[in-house]
Structure 1
Amino acid sequence: MIFTCLNAQNDKVRWNDLFSYNNVKFLEQVKGIIYCGTENGIFLFNPQNPTADWIKLNKTNYLNNVDVSAMAYDEASDAFLVGYANGGLDLLKSGESTMVLDIKWNGFNGDKKVNNIYIHDGIAFISGAFGVVSYSLAEEEFKETTRTNTFVVNDATVLNNTLYIATSNGIYSNELKNKLNNPNINTWTTVISGQNISNIELNNNEVYYAVGSDLRNLAGSSVGTFNTILDLKSSNNKLVITQNDQVSILGGSSEDITYQEKDANGVLQSLKMNFNTAIFINNTLYGGTTKFGLVDFSKKSTYNVENAFGYSPDGPYNNNSFSVTTKNGKVWIAPGGTDGYTNVLGNADGFFYYNAKKWINFSSQEIFGAKDILKIAAHPAKDNNSFVIASFNKDNRDINGRTDLLEFGDDLKPTKILTNQFPSSRIAGISYDQDGNLYVGTSFPDNFTSDWMYNYYASRTNGSWKTIQKNHNIASVALSPETTASYIYYPNARDGGITVLDKNNTEVITITTSNSKLPINNVLALASDKSNTLWIGTGQGLVILYGADDAIATKNINVEPIVIVQDGIPEALLTDVGINAIKVDNANRKWIATDGAGVYYVSDSGDRTILHFTSKNSPLPSDIVYDISVDESTGKVYFATEKGVVSYNGDVSSEATNFSNAIAYPNPYRPEYNGKITIKNLPNRALVKITDVVGNLIYESKAEGGIVEWDTNNAKGKAVASGIYLVLMMNSDGTETKTLKIAVVR
């Protein structure tokens, strides 16, 4: 089962991953190819052709989950099983992927993580806190479940028709009956008692297990002492013993790999790579590292350099993603982090940048030691390649100049742009307006006793700075502002509400629960749409302020929820979930990131939910979505989640100036498709009429944001019959027209 090419499943063709594949946790040999299991997917490595194009299996194309926790391959059936931390299983067989329903887990309330998969004679033994479960690869069904009560099964193996399980309470064994496990754990034999044993492995007809740094056989005799043992793997008649910073072969040598890295002071130092697992193929030892991908021990001398790297698909340094920024095909990921905008995490991952050709990962050492990068803002001008990054961590940061805000240009070198414009601060809020003016929201400024109450709001225009200090008298963290024609709106997390400044950087008002109907003062996101409605995301849901600039000017602050009608009953939209981000596309529709309910895509007024992505119904890796970015040049929408970044190919991109790229899809429209026909790449507000072939008008609309959708119903709401329909289009001033044909098949 070797994938020479890969086509996404039909429901996933619009999705792409921006995952990191550097943390290689599992290795399996499949017909000479090494399947490398990482946090969010699998990549294939061919030792005979290491530079071949990468094949990746992940949730956006083939797999059904993230958080890979176990893998196993059965040569006899050519089947590959993937286990996940949430208890899910995927069966890869005959070039197809099948989600194995977790039926045997349904009655278990504990941790459902799949700890290990061991395949023997066509039966997969699946281990976890739930016990051990057998699954027939031929019948594709679960067989027996052995509950182990209070202890966890970490690993399993079979010798002489006896199943051995390594648990948090020792090793147990039982003879297989009809190739299956005995469901009654009380009748099993206790081999080793009272020890937490993570690994057990069969090699050359002998069972080995590890206790700390000691490798033992079933008789309990030590057969070797190593560093702390993390993994045991029988590979081509060799027992491979993986430790944190070296890999050993039983009866052979121990190998480590040294690389060079600069410390916080810029001094180059020699360090040892850390490993998760290893495999022995074609007389070559390969190691799965924690951050360097797959490494070849026969080439260990080539890694002893700065910026060393092994084999892995191009991608961000890791899967930490607090926010995402996009522009003209370029992508910036800020890994974070913070805990509720209170504590700093000390994240020294730097930030990750895709320049439309390859990923460039900037370490903390390359940005003057700055940590906890929360936000990145790209200059809006198409030909301006500058961007700014913000650090939320002040610890030992500004010893040699201010590094809370750094600017990059074409040379990709960081420049310190702050001196004394405002005190050294934690910065969580930066954004540009359409004219390239930079706005900064800061928190926890130096030299204040109650620094958690103070924000500074700053703006830079043509190199000149303006700042204003604000004491909220309550906890407040200034986030990235939204700018309109008249005002700058700063969301303040924790309890700060919304601080509104005029273009002279003077405070006009701070909107809170005391002077409006904000549901809570923990305001996390703002977005002003094309009609100047301010969409407000809080820790307890979504509200809006119609005609925001006029409302501020007249002090008539009427914040209200969006009311939709469901089954004839009016109800408020998204009032019971935290809203982390809101982005408006060119069609004035809104993408909304939630703290546990996935992503919503709603109509311009919010009265209709167009899409709702969750981790269950889409490739979204998590329902906790921190940020969204819409690349208007491509229509791609990027989601930063707690488990990495993915993108979705949306329908709305930059507004066209003519009809040369106008398309309608799906075309033909077939019975099995339940969605709408989309007509896109149109000039903004172009008139679109759909008629039958004799000219009867079926549907008419304006292309707001260059897009129109048709539900294949006529003016009376009835589904049209099978046939050919004409799409007649005319731009807003009547100077250009075009006609498309759509086939409808009922």
Structure 2
Amino acid sequence: MFKRVFVLVIYFFPFLQFAQDFSTLWEGHFSFYSIKDIVESDTKIYAAAQNAIFSYNKQTNELEQLTTIHGLSGENISIIYYSDTYELLIVGYENGLIEIVFDNDENVLTINDIVDKPTIPPNSKRINHFNAYQNVVYISTNYGISVFNLDRLEFGDTYFIGNSGAQIQVSQTAIIGDEIYASCLGSNGIRKAQVSSPNLIDYQNWQTIVSGSFSAIETLEDKLFTTRTDNRIFQITNNTLSQLFQYANPPLDVRAVNGLLILTTINNVFIYDSNFDLLSQASVIPSFNTQFTSATTDSEYIYIGTKDFGVLKTLISSPVDFEEVHPEGPLLNTPFSIQATPNNLWVTFGDYDIFFNPYPLNSLGFSHLKGDEWINTPYSAALNARCLNAISINPFNNNQVFISSFFNGLLEVNEEVPTTLYNQTNSDLESLVLPSDPNYVDIRVGPSKFDSAGLLWTVTSLIDKPLKSYNPTTSQWRSYSFTDIIQDRNLGYGDMVIGDNGTKWIASYEHGFIGFKESGNSFNIKKLFREEENMPSSYVTALALDKRNQLWIGTYRGLRVLYNTTSFFEDDDISVDEIIISEDGIAKELLFQQIITDIEVDGSNNKWIGTVSSGIFYLSSDGQKTIFHFTTDNSPLPSNEITDVSIDQTNGTVYIATSKGLLSFRSGSSGTQETLQAAHVYPNPVRPTFNITEDRVKIKDISENINIKITDIEGNLVAEAQSRINLRYRGYNLEIDGGTAFWNGKNLANNVVKSGVYLVMLSDLDTFETKVLKLMVVR
């Protein structure tokens, strides 16, 4: 108990920086299927996925997540350790970062000492193992051993124990008696020293007892065990190795827990007593066909980390039946494309590189968030469609979904079940042609969109007729050639949007953006890509049409806007414009030279813009004001590389896919309604416990062009706002953001109103429809 109190006192020291909790507006949607490491506390099992952790309460079976939302960095985890003495979880990362989780998983301390060490190469900073002894933790790394003091929460010495003090890979340490042993990789053997020696920083105090490459070393009671990279396990006695067993696969994890030695390989967990007698063995079974990564035990169960099923729980006494343990989430933490519809989100995992090269081909399936439930479809159930990317949901049948494959064509999914894979044999989709191999089939379908008539439009790379339309009702296909503007075939098409007049706008790799519009039996096609047309790059990566029919264009080298889309095909001198903003009195180009990955328009015509290396920007409708700029430094984004963005227009939830995971942000913005029939105000009544000035009263489901007046019961004006004038984030007491208005409870004198009944009077300025809502405020 004393240790615990001491740690709490240290919280008040000013030099300790604890991570911020972002759980108010953000939600993480991380995958917990692939487990890197697993540890046990008195009451919980902790399991680390790629860059997130979950805990499992052994008494209540409750699952809790620990992610970037709660303060983790989002970097790749390599190892975790739990200290029952100090009641804290230590998280080690592949880049050398260390984080300590306190207070029932509510506070996270970030320690950058190893990351910031200039004398250690970046590829040598990986944390391999934590070994607690008395009040310190010995940290095994790819450069040597560092010591961290748990009482003072600070680093001590670092031991470079290689020959002549060289940096070497230490896989693990163990202490027996007064000696500390280090197992080393790279043929650096096993080395030992007196743990009580005041000068362990001197490499000459470390003795090499045996040569070779050793992956682990562990103490159990008064015995010392080690594993060599040739799959053998030994007992060390008087500096002599005695072979005990040779495994069919390399031991991945060796640890001592509750008086037992646990050794994990890809398909077995072996549990031994101190005499190396085998007490239990858990093996991979057909119903859970996976690879094991790590394991721990309590008095009754074995908990096994796996590559595909999170944690598997089984009885020590009879390890034949397995229980799957993990939070719900998508298949992977590498979302490539996402598509939101009301209370739904579809996710694919791509992918292709910036040159639209899908190799090496991946086989990863797709995920669907339906309400609060994740429905995951693995590759084996996806009709063997590889490199899944763009997603389109039929607006007339939300249970019918089409997912592009950048190798196999187009996958149709009905009621969660993949039903048809369209390719060169059953559709107008075409394979690219390799002169050297006429039998080669490679159908690279990319962006897809439904038009207002219910036709699905797709674009295929590296063929002469890339644009295809498909009618799901009649099963009819049509193909359109781009040879009038593209003679050498395009490597890829990054995005597509369709305007209200049916114009298709298509982003291309080498030919800028393309406009395509049918006109009877013919069509118009035109591209903009040249520098004299003010295009910063011929590589267009993202497109969006806003509510003013302006085309926002993301490129490999910045942002442009086509303000006049109606005369695009007729104007011979048409060009695009950059957005010039004033920053500290200096005129600058917005998002100058940024690689833009996606552009999305929300209900208030504001823009969400994702980038490759600078996070995500939330801009006002004209781009002149940056409302938010989220990065890994000021938000729970696990990476500044944004791969895709999608908005649930009904509630304003913004889904953000990054290279290291998926998150959502409750922006509060929402789409507008055609009428005021569904308009409502909440919370109602406003109770004293509600923070009206911060959390604000919401007036939902309003129309696009509206005037709102709030009066007291006697008719005195309290607040007023109008669409396109009193916009959100401009400092008004009553603000309108798309289909939602926000009131901070203040009157025209900027004072919070008194208790009473207030009238919210809505008036549509286009249709003259009106509606009056009553709101009760109790203070």
Residues 184 and 215 of structure 1: is their aligned pair in 2 closer, same or farther, counting only changes over 3 Å?
same
Which of 178, 184, 203 is 2:201 aligned to?
Answer: 184
1:406 aligned onto 2:411: yes
Pick one of 34, 39, 43 that aligns with 1:23: 34
Retained in 2: the 8 A contact 1:497–1:523? yes
Measured after TM superposition, the shift of residue 187 of structure 1 is 3.1
- Quote the Cα distance in structure 2 between the aligned partners of 1:346 and 1:692: 64
Select which of 515, 534, 547 maps to 1:500.
515
| Structure 1 segment 70-469 matched on structure 2, within 5 A | 70-95=79-104, 96-108=106-118, 109-111=121-123, 112-147=125-160, 149-168=166-185, 169-177=188-196, 182=199, 184-192=201-209, 195-212=212-229, 213-218=231-236, 219=239, 220-226=241-247, 227-250=249-272, 251-252=277-278, 255-260=281-286, 273-298=290-315, 301-302=320-321, 310-340=324-354, 341-381=356-396, 384-394=398-408, 404-410=409-415, 412-417=417-422, 419-424=426-431, 425-445=443-463, 454=464, 456-461=466-471, 462-463=473-474, 464-469=476-481
Compute the displacement of 1:630 (Å): 0.5
Partner residue of 2:771? Answer: 736
- CA shift, 1:79, in A, is 1.8
- Which consecutive residues of structure 2, in runs of 5 or more, have no partner in the other structure? 5-18, 432-442, 736-746
* Contact 1:328–1:631 (Cα < 8 Å) also in 2: yes
What's the counterpart of residue 491 of structure 2? 476
Aligned to 2:477, what secondary structure does the other structure show?
Answer: strand
Contact 1:339-1:345 at 8 Å conserved across structures: no
- Distance apart, 1:389 and its partner CA: 1.0
What CA distance in whole angstroms lies between the structure 2 residues aligned with 1:694 and 1:729?
14
Rounded Cα–Cα distance in structure 2 between residues aligned with 1:177 and 1:692:
77
Kindly indicate whether the alpha-carbon contact (under 8 Å) linking 1:114 and 1:126 is maintained by their aligned counterparts in 2.
Answer: yes
| Conserved? CA contact 1:288–1:295, under 8 Å | yes
**What do residues 423-451 of structure 1 show as CA deviations (whole Å, max 9, x unaligned)?**
13211111123443211000134xxxxxx
- Is 1:685 the counterpart of 2:705? The answer is yes
Residue 83 of structure 1 aligns with an amino acid whose one-letter code is G
Q: CA offsets, 1:9-53, max 9 Å, x none?
A: 65332111221111122111111421112113222224455xx34
Amino acid at match of 2:380: Q
Report what 1:38 is aligned to: 49
Contact 1:455 1:476 in 2 (8 A): no
Q: Report the 3-state secondary structure (helix = DSSP H, G, I; strand = E; otherwise coil) of the residue aligned with 1:221.
A: strand
Aligned residues of 1:320 and 1:335 also touching (Cα < 8 A): yes
Q: Which residue number corresponds to residue 744 of structure 2?
A: none
**Displacement, 1:353?**
1.8
Measure how far apart 1:277 and its partner are.
0.6
Match of 2:68 among 45, 54, 59: 59
Q: Is the 8 A contact 1:104 1:145 kept in 2?
A: no
Please give the TM-score of this superposition, normalised by the length of structure 2.
0.81
Amino acid in structure 2 at the alignment position of 1:502: K
1:494 to partner: Cα distance: 2.9
Listed one character per residue, the Cα deviations across residues 589-644 of structure 1 (whole Å, up to 9, x for unaligned) are 11111111111111101111111111222111111111011011232111111112
Q: Is the 8 A contact 2:192 2:206 kept in 1?
A: yes
Equivalent residues of 2:507, 2:543 under 8 A apart: no
Distance 2:658 2:311 in 1: 25
Q: Mark the CA change 1:570 to 1:690 in structure 2 (over 3 Å): closer, same or farther.
A: farther
Distance 1:714-1:80 versus aligned 2 partners, 3 A rule: closer
Deviations 1:308-344 (A, max 9, x none): x722222222223111111121221111122221233
Task: Find the counterpart in structure 2 of residue 655 from structure 1.
Answer: 672
SS for the counterpart of 1:723 is: coil
Q: Per the alignment, do residues 177 and 190 of structure 1 end up closer, same or farther by CA in structure 2, a change over 3 Å counting?
A: closer
Q: Is the 8 A contact 1:603 1:610 kept in 2?
A: yes
* Structure 1, 570-579 or 111-120: larger mean CA deviation: 111-120
Cα distance change, pair 486–358 in 1 and its aligned pair in 2 (3 A): same
Pick closer, same or farther for the CA change 1:137–1:494 going to 2, 3 Å.
same
Q: Counterpart in 1 of 2:437?
A: none
Cα 1:386/1:155, change in 2 over 3 Å: same
Distance 1:185 1:170 in 2: 18
The question of whether the paired residues in 1 share the 8 Å contact of 2:57 and 2:63 is answered with no
Q: Distance in 1 between the 2:301 and 2:328 partners?
A: 24
In 2, the alpha carbon distance for the partners of 1:237 and 1:542 equals: 62
Task: List per-residue Cα deviations over 1:371-402 (Å, max 9, x = no partner).
Answer: 11012111224x532110111124xxxxxxxx
Alignment length (residue pairs):
696
Deviation at 1:497, TM superposition (A): 1.7
Cα separation, partners in 2 of 1:158 and 1:709, compared to 1, 3 Å:
same
Instruction: Determine the C-alpha separation between the residues in 2 that align with 1:295 and 1:350.
Output: 22
Range 570-579 or range 735-744, more displaced: 735-744
Instruction: Specify the code of the residue in structure 2 equivalent to 1:252.
Output: L
Q: Percent of counterpart pairs with the same letter?
A: 25
